Amino acid sequence: MLDPYLWLEDFTSPEALDWVRAHNAASAVILEADPRYAVLFQEALDIAGAKDRIPAPSFLSGEIYNFWQDEEHLRGLWRKTSLADYRTADPTWTTVLDIDALGREEGKSWVFHGANILMPEAGRCLVMLSDGGEDADEAREFDLETGAFVADGFTIPRGKQRIAWEDEDHLLISREWTPGELTASGYPFIVKRLARGQALDQAQEVFRGEASDGGYGVSPAVLRDDQGDRLTVFHRPLDTYRHETHVLTPLGVERLGISDRTHVNGLFDGRILLSPDEAWTVDGKTFGAGSLLQADLAAVLADPAHLNPALIWAPGPRESLAGVAGTLDKLLVGALDNVRTRVWVFTPADGGWTRKLLSLPDNLSGGVGSIEHGSNRAFVSYSGFLTPASLALADVATGEMEPIKTAPSQFDAAGHVVEQFEAISSDGTAIPYFLVRPNDPPYDGSTPTLLYAYGGFQVSMTPSYAAMTGKLWLERGGAYVLANIRGGGEFGPAWHEAGLTTRRQIIYDDFAAVAEDLIARKITSPRRLGIQGGSNGGLLMGVQMVQRPELWNAVVIQVPLLDMIRIGKIAAGASWQGEYGDVEADPAVMDFWLKTSPYHNLKPGVAYPEPFIFTTTKDDRVGPQHARKFAARLEEMGLAFFYYENIEGGHGGSADMKQQAHVTALTMTYLQRKLMD
């Protein structure tokens, strides 16, 4: 199939960048000239940099660490304080690392990708720095006690890499050791051990996958519990969802005897925690998809091929596992119950477990944050669509919850209510969705409504406080909808698998069903209904625009996948074949996407809504190529669209809060023009 826009796939070529600049300018001249834009930009910037928002805490070495961004620190401050001081209304912070200052000093557009902490000592870390926000980063050893980079310490150059501390003097690194030594999706498959003082070319290989591997590449990890147990794991993806797990034993690296859809979730009190994504039968026992299991660590190290797992927790019909974390002697199990957060506290007892529910406000979303190692204390946060975030310090042994901080409201929520409804999809399945609406809508289809969903990769969409949506959309009379369509993980692995590969049309039917339900309830109408989604959600938006153009008057397509025929040849697209199928190897997959791929199914003469297409040049995960080519095809057909490509930002969309505010203001200006005028 001849593709006239292959030249736009060379994403840094002068010709392609000239095209980007021209289309950015054409959109900006309209959207930034709208009198609403300047107000929306300032509101978004004020919210992003609000000094009274809760500084997210992390326990580390007896202190509280936080990464903070505001208008004076666009790239951010990594800082610390004591727990006692953190409890106060205005803590005194000590700067650990100033990312803005580091970027100015080195002439780089550094974005902080976090710190990889040496545990349990916690005196050293690897600071991960990305140039402009791309996934690839470099690592530098940093001394937390002196607050400085370590002279002649570990320095790992830029790459899409995974690093684990084996001990103070050794790293396990998966990276591109020689040029081109990557999988087809651009990820590393060889792990080597690097000793302190060695050059990279002196590192010794400890594990190897294959260049033909799918998924996200081989990852090393060193798991630890508070009892001093340790397990070194090598995760080798075979495709997006199937993988092998290998562990380091006294006899060397051996494969762990679990199914290729079972995950290692961590260590707790001498137990390996496991969770299967599909029913797993071992030694005559069958464990259901989405359950939580345990296996004895000592027995596993003695014989990794033969596990004797036991059940810890099994989900009910409307539940899904949402996370697992261990404290000193308690196991915390997060779950979603009809898309509402629950946290269970499990305690080992007489060969089994007892459990109790941690007391959290109902109808809100949240969960366990940072845990203090060596204790039973953990930070717990929660929020809702109209409820600002609150933070508590939980003693999970006693159940005591000490309120620490509550964020102030950043928009007037008094005029809105939250409801949960269900729409009936094309196969009769009930699809839940949340509606945030004005208290007294006219029920005549006139309410401007923004519908959001993701629908892929077993990612769950849950209620949370979205201050910018509240201030820039709800306060101006809009309604907001979050749809829990299939493809997500809200109801466990089966909810996700219902829409895999050639079954994906059901995801798109689910989304359309929610729209039709909103219209039938007379909340909104096609004239006032807009939709928004990013990444896989950007693909969802492209499909909806092409398949059901009559339902929408605004379509926001963010960092999207849109060319589903060449997806495997763009950025990391080959790693997602478990989700979307392999068009090169499976004729049924090719046939499905030829009928469904947004880029290939635009047709002249159709009354499509005028979309707003957003991407970033430095997105090395999905890539800007999809968005560019889709816009070029619209242009070829004489169809109107808005296009904006941020030069920085990576797949997250922006490298700092000013860029974030700019993109948010452009998007909201577009939506208000389309749905409120």
Tokens of 546: 């092409």
> Per the domain annotation, does 225 fall within a domain?
no
Residue 149: which pLDDT band, with cuts at 50, 70 and 90?
A: very high
What integer pLDDT is reported at residue 408 of this predicted model?
Answer: 95
| Chain segment 274-290, per-residue pLDDT in tens | 999 999 999 899 999 99
CB count within 10 Å of CB 150 equals 16
Residue 547: which pLDDT band, with cuts at 50, 70 and 90?
A: very high
Residue 1: which pLDDT band, with cuts at 50, 70 and 90?
A: low
Q: Which residues pair with 383 in a beta bridge?
A: 365
Residue 502: which pLDDT band, with cuts at 50, 70 and 90?
A: very high
b/e 329-356 (16+ beta carbons within 10 angstroms → b): ebbbbbbbeebbbbbbbbebeeeebeee
Mean pLDDT of the 469-492 span: 97
| Domain encompassing residue 580 | 6-46+411-675
314 φ/ψ angles, rounded to the nearest 5 degrees: -125, 135
SS3 breakdown of the chain: % helix, strand, coil, rounded to 5? Answer: 25, 35, 40
> Per the domain annotation, does 204 fall within a domain?
no
What integer pLDDT is reported at residue 46 of this predicted model?
Answer: 93
Whether pLDDT at 622 is above 70: yes
Mean pLDDT of the 367-378 span: 94
> Per the domain annotation, does 532 fall within a domain?
yes
198-202, 211-215, 513-517, 601-605, range with the lowest pLDDT: 211-215
Q: Please give the DSSP secondary-structure letter assigned to residue 350.
A: T
What integer pLDDT is reported at residue 213 of this predicted model?
Answer: 93
> Per the domain annotation, does 452 fall within a domain?
yes
Domains of the chain: total: 1
What integer pLDDT is reported at residue 404 of this predicted model?
Answer: 96
CB count within 10 Å of CB 462 equals 20
| Chain segment 236-255, per-residue pLDDT in tens | 999 999 999 999 999 999 99
3-state secondary structure at position 57: coil
> Per the domain annotation, does 65 fall within a domain?
no
What integer pLDDT is reported at residue 184 of this predicted model?
Answer: 87
> Per the domain annotation, does 506 fall within a domain?
yes
Tell me the catalytic residues: 535, 651
Whether pLDDT at 106 is above 80: yes
Whether pLDDT at 413 is above 90: yes
What CATH code is carried by the domain that includes residue 529?
3.40.50.1820
3-state secondary structure at position 98: strand
Whether pLDDT at 655 is above 70: no
> Per the domain annotation, does 637 fall within a domain?
yes
Mean pLDDT of the 462-483 span: 96
Whether pLDDT at 259 is above 90: yes
What integer pLDDT is reported at residue 656 of this predicted model?
Answer: 84
What integer pLDDT is reported at residue 648 of this predicted model?
Answer: 75
> Per the domain annotation, does 537 fall within a domain?
yes
Angle at 565 between CA 564 and CA 571, to 5 degrees: 70
Whether pLDDT at 652 is above 90: no
The overall average pLDDT reported for the chain is 95
| Alpha helix (H) residue ranges in 233-375 | 297-302
What integer pLDDT is reported at residue 653 of this predicted model?
Answer: 66
3-state secondary structure at position 140: strand
Q: Residues 333, 358: contact at Cβ < 8 Å?
A: no
The kind and range of the H/E element at 658 are helix 657-675
What integer pLDDT is reported at residue 122 of this predicted model?
Answer: 87
Whether pLDDT at 351 is above 90: no
The kind and range of the H/E element at 591 are helix 587-596
The model carries a pTM of: 0.93
| Chain segment 552-602, per-residue pLDDT in tens | 999 999 999 999 999 999 999 999 999 999 999 999 999 999 999 999 999
